[in-house]
Amino acid sequence: MAVPFKYMIKNFRTRKLTTIITISGISLVVFVFAAVLMMAYGVQKTLISTGSPDNVKVQRKSSTGEISSIIDGDTQNIIKSLTHIAKKPDGTPIFSAEPVVVINLKIKTGGVSNITVRGVSPIIKDLRPQVKIDEGRMFNPSLRELIVGKSVANKFDGAQVGSKVKFAGDFWSVVGIFEDNGSGFESEMWGDASQLLNAFNRGNTASTITLKLDDTNNFDRFKTEFAADKRLQQFEVMSEQHFFEMQSEILATFIRILGTFITIIFSFGAIIGAAITMYAAVSNRTIEIGTMRALGFSRRSVLTVFVTEALLISLIGAAVGLFFASFLQFLTISTLNWNSFADLSFSFALNSSIIISCIVFAAVMGIFGGFFPAIRAARLNIVTALRGG
């Protein structure tokens, strides 16, 4: 089947304005669609990167987040006695019982938002060695001092080194700012676990437990031993990465559903624009279409060339939309994480699946927009077309 593709390319040059307008409409829709997917993926990527592959998280079953989980002191001692927990050279298990609370802080640009305050043990350097102090120093476990994540320091008033934060009836001094490669920990404040428990009169009751395995491959053995202890039936164990991945699911799913719904509404406009462009092309090219038919090109050839033209326009629009969407990766925004009820800062993130989804989405818009005009072109009577309509 011969298809006059050279004719199609020639018409791109002769119909620059209408083609550019259609490409712009499709690229805008693709940009919005890509931004939504990048936002959802950014949330997931931020929280997944929060965990370490050799760390294990323990929380109470059915807890929706760390602030709703409770682990008493006796249970902590039972878990600490299990095998396969990594130890320091002096035999101290690398184990942190962490109370987690949420406080309010003023945003620099106005308003307030919730911030997670995590109590950690002095052994935190062994548990999370990737965390680095950018400014100031580590907190003194004997004092009510805090180190704050880089995202918190950038967004909130009173979260800089030398500032004091008031909660639980006392002032806590900010002595350091830390970073963790853009993970969710950068949206938290950390202080000594014992100081935090005393401030909130929680005795020795933690929210969750984080521990390091002696070998990542021993996770299944540790989990089996954990499940076999009847005293631990009310608790569950999972890898730290999986735990924080679960924390992202609700928010990321909501962003995808809402954003996709809005994008689909926008896409109707782009489809209509593509259809109008292609119908106009058919009307302006009736004589040319008649000539092609008179030269021996079949109806199928004419149909193919017009559908291909619409598809090519949509793919160019997809490329333009993705090009501009890629710059969103340089932006950092924040939102409320529904699982922790606290502020979470994250960056837009792009991956291959998002690129493929956007290309497919644009192709569908192009095919829908060009199909019916293409049918009209293919059905034109040769004699009528040669007379100009």
Q: What is the mean pLDDT of the chain?
A: 84
- CA-CA distances (angstroms) from residue 223 to 35, 69, 94, 226, 238? 39, 19, 17, 5, 8
DSSP character at residue 341: T
In 10 A of CB 171, how many CB atoms? 11
Half-sphere exposure of residue 191: CA atoms within 13 angstroms, side-chain side: 26
Share of the chain above pLDDT 70, in %: 84
User: Is pLDDT of 8 > 70?
Assistant: no
Q: Which of 335, 229, 374, 264 is nearest to 30 (CA)?
A: 264
What ranges in 295-342 are assigned the alpha helix state H?
299-325
pLDDT of amino acid 361: 87
CA 245 to chain centre: 11
Element (H, E) at 326: none
CB 211 within 8 Å of CB 88: no
Least confident of 70-74, 95-99, 249-253, 380-384: 380-384
User: Is pLDDT of 143 > 70?
Assistant: yes
User: Is pLDDT of 41 > 60?
Assistant: yes
Residue of 228 and 376 predicted with greater confidence: 228
pLDDT of amino acid 341: 66
pLDDT of amino acid 292: 66
User: Is pLDDT of 337 > 90?
Assistant: no
In 10 A of CB 256, how many CB atoms? 16
CB 29 within 8 Å of CB 326: no
User: Is pLDDT of 272 > 60?
Assistant: yes
pLDDT of amino acid 1: 44
Range 120-138 average pLDDT: 90
Q: Cα–Cα distance between 389 and 387 in angstroms, integer?
A: 6
Range 284-302 average pLDDT: 66
pLDDT of amino acid 191: 95
pLDDT of amino acid 305: 75
User: Is pLDDT of 220 > 90?
Assistant: yes
User: Is pLDDT of 14 > 70?
Assistant: no
pLDDT of amino acid 224: 94
Least confident of 240-244, 270-274, 282-286: 282-286
Range 117-128 average pLDDT: 89
DSSP character at residue 139: P
Range 295-311 average pLDDT: 73
Q: Among 79-93, 297-311, 326-340, which range has the highest average pLDDT?
A: 79-93
pLDDT of amino acid 385: 54
Query: End-to-end distance of the chain based on CA atoms, in angstroms?
Result: 26
pLDDT band (50, 70, 90) for residue 291? low
pLDDT of amino acid 9: 62
- CA-CA distances (angstroms) from residue 278 to 264, 312, 318, 380? 21, 12, 18, 15
Cβ neighbourhood burial of 344 (10 Å; 0-12, 13-18, 19+):
buried
In 10 A of CB 223, how many CB atoms? 16
User: Is pLDDT of 156 > 80?
Assistant: yes
Amino acid identity of 265? I
